[in-house]
Chains A and B, each alone.
Chain A
Amino acid sequence: MFRYLQVLPLTLTLLVFLVIPVGVIVVVSFWDYTEFSLLPDFVWTNYEELFTSKVTYSIYLKTVIYTALTWLLTLLIGFTVAYFLAFHVRTLKWQIVLFLLCTIPFWTSNIIRMIAWIPVLGRHGLVNQGLLSAGIVDEPVEWLLYSDFAVVLAFVHLYTLFMVVPIFNSMMRIDPSVIEAAYDAGAGAWRTLWHVIVPLCKPGIAIGTIFIVTLVMADFVTVQMMSGGQSASVAVAMNNKRALLQYPAAAADAVILLLVVLMMVAALMRIVNVRKEL
C-alpha cells in the first residue's frame, strides 16, 4: 500500500498535466469552430482538411528530412565523441571532466544558444568576414543564417549530447576483455569497431535516436528561429493555427503528430529495453 502512496505525487502530476491535456486535445480535435469560439461537436472536418491539403504532406516531408539529417549527423558526431571518451581517455577523472564539458551546454538556455549563432553566421558574421577577407567569396553568403542549413546546424548543436550520453553509457559497459579477445583473434581496430563495439552500442544508439526523433519531429522553436520564419515544420504549422485561434484544427494536427511520433518510438523500443539500460 505504502508504495502506491510513494508514486502518488508522480502519477497525479502526470495525470493532470499530461494525460488529461492530451485527452482534451483528442476531444477538441473533433470539435467545430468559428472565428471567435469553439463549438463542441463530433466532426471529422479538421482531419479531412488536414489530409486533403497538399501543404500537410510537404511539411511532413520537410520535417522528416530535418529529422533524418539531424539523426545522421548527431549519430556520427556523438558516436565519435563517445568513442574518444570511452576508449582513448585513460583516467576516470579526465573522463568525468571531458564528459561534463560536453554536458554543461545542455543545462543552459536553448534560445540563447540559438541567438548565439547570429554573430557567427549572420550577413556580417564571423564566417562571412573570414570568407570575404580570404577572397573565397565576393558577396556575403546569405544562406548561413535563416535557412534550412541553419536549422539543421542548430539541431546538431543543441541535441548531439542526447546521442553522446547513451552511447557513452553503452560503451562503458563493454567488458574490456571482449575487445582484447577481438584483437587476439586478429581483428584490427576497424573490424573490432564494426563487429564488436557498434553492435554492443545498439541500445545506446536506439535511446539516442528516440531522443533525436521526438525532439526534432515535434520542434517548432528551432525551426521558427533559425529559418527566420521561412520554413515550416509540422509543429510550426500547428503553432500558427493555434495563434489564429483555430484550436480544433491545431488539435487535429497535434493528434496526428503524436501518432506519428509514438509509432516511430514504438518501433525503436523493440530494439531496446529502456529500463535495463539505466
Chain B
Amino acid sequence: MSLASGERRGVGFYCLAAFFVLFVIFLYGPTIAIVVLSFQGPDGGLTFPMNGFSFRWFANLFEQQMVGDFKASFARSFGLALIVMVLTIVVSLMAGLAFRRPFIGSGLVFYLTVASLIVPSILITLGIGLMFDRADLETAWYSSGLGAHLTWTLPFGLLIMFAVFNRFDASYEEAARDLGASPWQVLRHVVLPIIGPSLVGVGLFGFTLSFDEFARTLMAAGVKNTLPLEIFGMTTNVTTPVLYALGTVTTGVSLAIIGICLGVITIIQRRRLRHGSDAGRGMV
C-alpha cells in the first residue's frame, strides 16, 4: 500500500482494483441485462437470447388493459415524490438549524429520528394502516402514504443536515452579522448559498427514496397504488418483457433525477469557483 502519490502501483492495487471492477459489474450487471431485454422482439421471452428488436413492450406499457394501471400509478408516484422532496428539504433544514445549538429535548427528538430509521418498515405500514382504520379514516397516497414516506426520508435529511452543520464555519455568519445583516438575511444570503449543494442532495434522497418506496407504503397507499406497489403486483402475474420495460422506464426516471441533482450541484460549485473568492490568486 502506498499513500504518497507518484509511487509505483503494487500488486495490491491491481488486486483491489479488479475486486472493485467485479463489484461494480455485480451492482450494475443485472440491471443492464433487463434494460437490454426490454427491447426484446415481439416473440421474445424473459431471458436471453434476444429474439429480434422492438419497442413493443414499451408500447405495451401504455395500453391499460395489458398491464396494471401504469400511467396513473406513475403520475401518482411522481407527484408524491415531488411533495416528499420539498417537505424533506424544508423540514430537515428547519430541524437542522434548530439542532445547531443544544436545547432541552434535543436528545429525545434526535433519538426519535433515529428510531424512525430503525423501526422496521412493516411496523410503520401496519401501524399507520391500523391507526387510520381505527380512526375511521380512508388511507390514501397523499395522506397516510405521504406520512409513511416522510418517516423514511426525514431521518436521511436530518442526518445529512447534521453532517453539513458539523463542518459549517460559523465565522461567515458572524461576519455577516457584524456587517449588520438581520437573522433572515444571514440565512438567505450566507447560510443557504453555502449549504445549497447539500440541500440538493437532501432533495435527491427525498425524491428517490419516495419514488421507489415499497414496504412502508404497502398498507398506507389506500385503494390507488403507487408505482412500486403496481410493479410488485405485476411480478406475480406478468410473464412478458413488459416487466423489464417498466423496470427500464423506472430506472431511467431515477437516473434522470440523479443526473439533474448531480448536475445542479456541479454547476453551483463551478460558479462558486469562478465568482466566489479571489483568495489564493496572489492579490494583496
Contact = CB atoms under 8 A, between A and B. Distances in A.
Nearest to B29: A120
Nearest to B249: A112
B163 interface: yes
A69 interface: no
B214 A111 contact: yes
Interface in A1-41: 3-4, 6-7, 9-11, 13-14, 16-25, 28
B134 A88 contact: no
10 contacts: A7-B106, A10-B95, A10-B154, A10-B158, A107-B205, A108-B212, A115-B247, A192-B1, A218-B123, A278-B163
B215 interface: yes
B46 interface: yes
A189 B251 contact: no
Contacts of B244: 115, 119
Contacts of B117: 214
> Interface residues of A: mostly helix, strand, loop or mixed?
helix
A21 B113 contact: no
Counting contact residues on chain B (CB < 8 A from A), the size range is 35 or more
A232 to B, nearest CB: 13
B147 interface: yes
Given A81-B19, A104-B258, A119-B48, A21 B95 contact: no
A258 B119 contact: yes
A110 interface: yes
Contacts of A62: none
Interface string A56-96: 00000000000000000000010011011101101000000
Given A113-B30, A119-B46, A189-B12, A254 B158 contact: no
Contact of A6 (B97, B115, B218): B97
Interface centre among B27, B46, B150, B159, by most chain A C-beta atoms within 10 angstroms, is B27
Contacts of B254: 107-109
Contact of A104 (B45, B94, B219, B255): B255
A104 B12 CA distance: 26
B42 to A, nearest CB: 18
B124 A7 contact: no
A176 B163 CA distance: 22
A270 interface: no
Given A119-B37, A275-B110, A275-B162, A80 B19 contact: yes
Given A81-B20, A88-B16, A107-B257, 16 more contacts: A9-B90, A9-B94, A14-B116, A16-B147, A21-B123, A21-B131, A80-B16, A81-B23, A98-B20, A104-B258, A108-B255, A110-B214, A115-B235, A220-B122, A247-B126, A261-B118
